[in-house]
Chains A and B, each alone.
Chain A
Amino acid sequence: MNNGYIGRILRINLKNGTIRKEPLNDANASQYVGARGLGTKYFCDECDPACDPLGPGNNLVIMTGPLTGTAAPSSGRYNAVAKSPLTGTIGAANSGGHFGPELKFAGYDGIIFEDISEKPVYLYINDDEVELRDASHLWGRDVFDTTEALYEECGSNFRVACISAAGENGVLFAGIMNDKHRAAGRGGMGAVMGSKKLKAIAVKGTGSVKVARPEAFFNEIVEARDSLRAHPVTGAGLSAYGTMILVNIVNGVGGLPVNNGSEGSLFPNADEISGETLTARHLIRNKGCFGCPIGCGRLTEIKAGAFKSKGEGPEYEAGWSFGADCGIDDLGAVCNANFLCNQYGIDPITMGATVACAMELYKIGAITEEDVGFPLHFGDAAAMVRATEMTCKGEGFGKIMGLGSYRMAEKYGHPELSMSVKKQEMPAYDGRAIQGIGLEYATSNRGGCHVRGYMISPEVLGIPQAMDPLTTENKPAMLKVFQDLTALCDASGICLFTTFGIGLKEIAGMYREAVGSDESDEEILLKGERIWNLEKRFNIAAGVEKDTLPPRLLRETLPSGPAKGRVNELYTMLAEYYAARGWTKDGIPTDNKLEELGIK
């Protein structure tokens, strides 16, 4: 097809081994764009919201967007969509690298995996040649090892997405790793893949992606790339320092949670785990995803000492979770733990936050050395790395940590010590110091998450305009716009980081010329709102708990810093947010709203 889409998807039934090539649902693609949006639409049309996330009824949908694999900037994205075993919500995890574009080059917009295989398999795709192959010899092997084995078996020019033993063994926050280091990381999509006995997907394609109006599309791309190049963040800052550059500024506003948030959000040694320090001491070189002019990825190395290791990252969130959240200022240990997460394919946000929660349980005596196997004090770098490794490998207490912080804390009688929303751990910003991000955590359709509506952008970074992090005014309306625009961006197939330098005008412009649409910017943004409401409707049907925050954020005041004495004013913002969304006061999309958006 000549509209950004390939026009074809793969449907794989893992139980009976059938492989079908079927036309893309054009009407749904027009309404839900692609990737996160279209993947969710396929999922919701075919799966029972009450399904067991690790059972046969939970389809796993891999979906690209219309801009994926085009010349649009940072267009290497795809989404993995299924019901999340961690949260019970819709789980849509987004990843970059080169896997998504390669799938389109092979001739497919996406893949739907149904049911469960009797034995371990992997999916081999070489243009039109598609096979389910035995993966018994790969079962139990880690991400790097599996990827290398598939390069050897299929060819070094294949792109591989896979899981490790963590996904196979049901670590509830196991991700799907592609190109070794890129992750569809949050919500346990790797555990879903493991439950299906699907070890990997190896793909190679020789085709290309064609757009509807090539000349106009080219002009839009030039404009978007110029804007990204001219912006201080996307043109220089992210490339120079990576995402870890946020450590000092978030700590600067008193918003970097320390010791599971129990010690406030000012970390005295933040600079030791900052982007500046990572760049000065450990950076080997930058690394970018498909078609990305930003190149925020980092290849890093700890050259000596107890944490000698080499890999990619860490990103800011992992820098915090293994760092300040565990009271640790040893960047070598932080990097080492992050490398383990890549090697074993697990989400480092949930991992680090779960270790931090375990450290607090240990501190209050709810768990002991006997439970863990060793002392687990805040600030103990070696213990943090060991706890991470045990979880990756499913050893001892690691099996309990593999359930995530909520289930672990609940088991030991203190669910309130899990810093999670809908059982997914909140990332690296304290909602007491930054009010709008607290509202985002509470309302995110996949549980505690920052990248559904990144309010840090206006509240801390001043992009596109500065908003006071301590106030609640205008935050609900701004968050709604951010969430809808993010859904559109995710669905289009380009990276969210582009939105530091470009906005709706550029994204809508590229989308319009790629697919051959004459819709206005506003009509295109409405697709983002449609995706958001579809996700919310699924969550309600799945019986997901109400939008709220951990009691710590609502009741325990911050002890120091610019936000001293504050809690998150969630209930001041929530009613206004629901009103902005046109939902009931209880946060349920009305029939009128669903009808207005054409959601059936």
Chain B
Amino acid sequence: MTIRFFAYYRDPEYTGRKEMTMAAPHTVRDLGDALCSQFGSPFAEEFFNSGRTAPGDRIIIMINGRRVEFLDGLDTLLRESDVVQLFPVVAGG
């Protein structure tokens, strides 16, 4: 599967990546564990809320353009063909 990072998540202290591929973990929660393990702090503080029940309040996680809040949250199942997009909360207009 493809994972894309945006805004300051691309900075070296977060992931230093614009894009990466990996074998699809079972769920979004498993993906979060894998990415937090790979990149460590400060990225690891972003992915989950404190109870690991939902995304953290500074991250937007999209699977194929849909926020996980409108899918099955962290339990959303992942497939090899999925594109995951990770945005910090941003705004403009």
Interface residues of chain A, those whose CB is within 8 Å of chain B, are 232-233, 236-238, 240-246, 248-249, 252-254, 271, 275-276, 296, 315-317, 450-451, 454, 456-457, 461-463, 466, 468, 470, 496-497, 500, 561-562
Contacts and interface: CB of A to CB of B under 8 A. Distances in A.
A582 B80 CA distance: 50
B87 A246 contact: no
A296 B65 contact: no
29 contacts: A233-B90, A237-B91, A238-B90, A238-B91, A238-B92, A240-B8, A242-B92, A243-B93, A244-B92, A248-B6, A249-B6, A252-B62, A252-B65, A253-B65, A254-B65, A275-B7, A276-B10, A315-B92, A316-B93, A454-B93, A461-B60, A461-B89, A462-B67, A463-B89, A466-B67, A468-B70, A496-B93, A500-B91, A561-B65
A252 B87 contact: yes
A451 B91 CA distance: 13
B37 interface: no
Contacts of B91: 233, 237-238, 245-246, 457, 461, 463, 497, 500
Interface in B52-93: 58, 60, 62, 64-67, 69-70, 85, 87-93
A275 B88 CA distance: 13
Contacts of B93: 243, 246, 316-317, 450-451, 454, 456, 496-497
B51 to A, nearest CB: 18
Nearest to B62: A252
Given A248-B6, A249-B6, A237 B90 contact: yes
Contacts of A497: 91, 93
Q: Most chain-A Cβ atoms within 10 A of its Cβ — which of B10, B58, B90, B91?
A: B91
Nearest to B19: A271
A276 B90 contact: no
A253 B69 CA distance: 14
Contact of A232 (B64, B70, B88): B88
Interface of B: 6-8, 10, 18, 58, 60, 62, 64-67, 69-70, 85, 87-93
Contacts of B90: 233, 237-238, 241, 245-246, 249, 461
A271 B85 CA distance: 13
Given A233-B91, A296-B92, A562-B66, 8 more contacts: A237-B91, A254-B65, A276-B6, A276-B10, A317-B93, A450-B93, A454-B93, A562-B64
The 3 closest A-B pairs by CB, nearest first: A243-B92, A562-B65, A246-B92
A323 to B, nearest CB: 14
B42 to A, nearest CB: 13
Interface centre among B7, B18, B67, B93, by most A CB within 10 Å?
Answer: B93
A468 B92 CA distance: 19
A264 to B, nearest CB: 12
A242 B90 CA distance: 10
Given A232-B58, A561-B65, A462 B89 contact: yes
B54 to A, nearest CB: 11
Nearest to A255: B65
A3 to B, nearest CB: 31
Contacts of B64: 562
Given A275-B7, A466-B69, A253 B62 contact: yes
A454 B66 CA distance: 20
Nearest to A252: B85
A276 B7 contact: yes
B93 to A, nearest CB: 6
Considering residues A236, A316, A463, which has the most beta carbons from chain B within 10 angstroms of its beta carbon? Answer: A236
A271 B5 CA distance: 11
Contacts of A456: 93
A252 B93 CA distance: 16
Contacts of B18: 271
Could you say which of A275, A461, A470 has the most chain B C-beta atoms within 10 Å of its C-beta? A461
A233 B89 contact: yes
A316 B92 CA distance: 7
Interface centre among B10, B60, B65, B69 (most CB of A within 10 A): B65
Contact of B92 (A232, A245, A562): A245
Q: Which of A232, A457, A470 has the largest count of B CB atoms less than 10 A from its CB?
A: A232
- B7, B85, B88, B92: residue with the most chain A Cβ atoms closer than 10 Å: B92
A236 B91 CA distance: 10
Contacts of A242: 92
A244 B91 CA distance: 9
B45 to A, nearest CB: 13
B74 to A, nearest CB: 15
A238 B67 CA distance: 21
A249 B88 CA distance: 10
Contacts of A500: 91
Contacts of A241: 7, 90
Contacts of A245: 7, 90-92
Nearest to A433: B65
B12 to A, nearest CB: 13
A36 B10 CA distance: 40
Contacts of A315: 92
A470 B65 CA distance: 11
A561 B63 CA distance: 11
A275 B92 contact: yes
B13 to A, nearest CB: 13
A352 B75 CA distance: 42
B26 to A, nearest CB: 22
A244 B90 CA distance: 10
B49 to A, nearest CB: 13
Contacts of A248: 6-7, 85, 87
Contacts of B92: 238, 242-246, 275, 296, 315-316
A457 B90 CA distance: 10
Contacts of A461: 60, 89-91
Contacts of B88: 232, 237
Contacts of B65: 252-254, 561-562
Most B-side CB within 10 Å, residue of A253, A456, A457, A497: A253
Contacts of B89: 232-233, 237, 461-463
Nearest to A457: B91
B60 A462 contact: yes
